Amino acid sequence: MSQYALIGVYLIIALIFGVAPPLLAWFLSPKKPNPYKGEVYESGIKTFGPTWIRFKPQYYLFALAFLVFDVEAALLLPWAVAYLWLPLYAVIEAVIFILILVFGLVYVWRRGWLTWM
């Protein structure tokens, strides 16, 4: 049970560590607000137009399409490293995996999502 008490102590210390710095900063810091500090860029550069603009959702589509290649690379690298020791089914599995990813790419392409609008 004493081991669990140790965990409890650890939790409390962790909590203090997490909460203390922002609290301290809040108490100790001098507060002299002025309108320039409230601006978007503290460097003083003015923003162009309104700051609450919407991002094009197409960025997300590109990120998703990129994921096709990203996942492919991440999963195929260990497969390629261990290639010499792998049985036949691992090769077939990898081929199916690549085919599914290729399908994803073809899908995105045919939908016309690869051209920037």
Partner 1 sequence: MEQEIFQLSYLQAIVPELLLLVVGLLLLGVDLVLPEARKRELSVWAAAGFAIVALASPLAYLGEPQFVFGGMIGSEPLNAIFAFIFAMAAFLVALLSRDDERLEPSGVYYALIAFAVIGMDLMVAATDFIMLYLALELTGLSLYLLSAYDRRSRFSVEAGMKYFFYGSVASAVMLYGITFIAGLTGQTLYLGVRYLFASAVMPAWFGMGVLVLILAGVGFKVAMVPLHTWAPDVYEGAPTPVTAFLSVTSKAAGVMALMRLLVWIWGSLPSHAEMTSLIAALAIVTITLGNLFALRQKSFKRLLAYSSITQAGYVLVGVTALSPMGLTAVGFYLAIYAVTNIAAFTVLVLVSNRSGSDWLRDFVGLQQRSPALALALLVALLSLGGVPPFAGFVGKILLFAAALKSGFVWLVGAALANVLISLYYYLNAVRMAYTRAEEPVEPLSIPVASRWVLVIATAGIILGTILAYPLYHLLERAAMVWF
Cβ nearer to partner 1, comparing 54 with 111: 111
Nearer to partner 1, 83 or 107 (CB): 107
Task: Candidates 10-18, 20-28, 64-72, 102-110: pick the segment binding partner 1 (CB under 8 A).
Answer: 102-110
In three-state secondary structure terms, 42 is coil
Nearest by Cα to 78 from 64, 57, 63, 93: 93
Residue 111 touches partner 1, criterion: CB under 8 A: yes
Which region, judged by CB under 8 A, interacts with partner 1, from 11-19, 64-72, 77-85, 104-112?
104-112
User: Closest Cα partner for 62 from 108, 110, 111?
Assistant: 108
Residue by residue, DSSP assigns 83-107 as GGG--HHHHHHHHHHHHHHHHHHHH
User: One symbol per residue from 71 to 90: x for binding partner 1 (CB under 8 A), - otherwise; what is it?
Assistant: ------------------x-
Tokens standing for residue 112: 């016309």
Torsion of Cα atoms, 75 then 78 then 83 then 87, to 10°: -70
Of the candidate residues 39, 67, 103, 114, the single one contacting partner 1 (CB under 8 A): 103
Least distance (Å) between residue 4 CB and partner 1: 8
Binding site for partner 1 (CB under 8 A): 89, 100, 103, 106-107, 110-111
